[in-house]
């Protein structure tokens, strides 16, 4: 199975359940693994057959920053739905990490898988 990967996409947004969090911007780090048949793009050196990681990154950044969100679980599901629906990806693994959310941890996060291989 081929995959297209995006690692530690940094998105600055309003995220959290506490009132003080709703007044500030915080960083999220997004990791994606997306099932994609890269053989056609590779065989013909054809960008049109590739899954453009820049386009996906820009779309997810816009989606996550368009309005405040309380839960990183919601962010993960929104990312999975967007990638599968808008980019026709059959399977995706999304990890959302929130650095600094717990003082004694470097980051906390969630990971989900959606779709079928």
Cite the active site residues. Answer: 98
Taking alpha carbons only, the member of 2, 1, 15, 24 closest to residue 72 is: 15
Asked if residues 63 and 79 have their Cβ atoms less than 8 Å apart, the reply is: yes
Structural tokens at position 73: 């679980």
Q: How many Cβ atoms from other residues are within 10 Å of residue 106's Cβ? A: 9
Asked if residues 3 and 50 have their Cβ atoms less than 8 Å apart, the reply is: no
Query: For residue 32, how far is the Cα from the chain centroid?
Result: 5
Asked if residues 96 and 110 have their Cβ atoms less than 8 Å apart, the reply is: yes
């Amino acid at each position: 199975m081929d995959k297209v990967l995006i690692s530690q996409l940094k998105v600055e947004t309003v995220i959290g359940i506490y009132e003080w969090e709703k007044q500030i911007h915080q960083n999220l780090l997004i990791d994606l693994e997306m099932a994609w048949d890269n053989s056609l793009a590779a065989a013909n050196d054809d960008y049109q057959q590739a899954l453009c990681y820049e386009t996906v990154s820009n779309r997810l950044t816009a989606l996550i920053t368009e309005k405040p969100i309380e839960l990183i679980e919601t962010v993960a599901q929104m990312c999975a739905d967007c990638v599968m629906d808008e980019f026709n990806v059959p399977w995706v693994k999304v990890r959302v990490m929130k650095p600094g959310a717990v003082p004694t941890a470097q980051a906390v996060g969630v990971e989900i898988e959606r779709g079928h291989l």
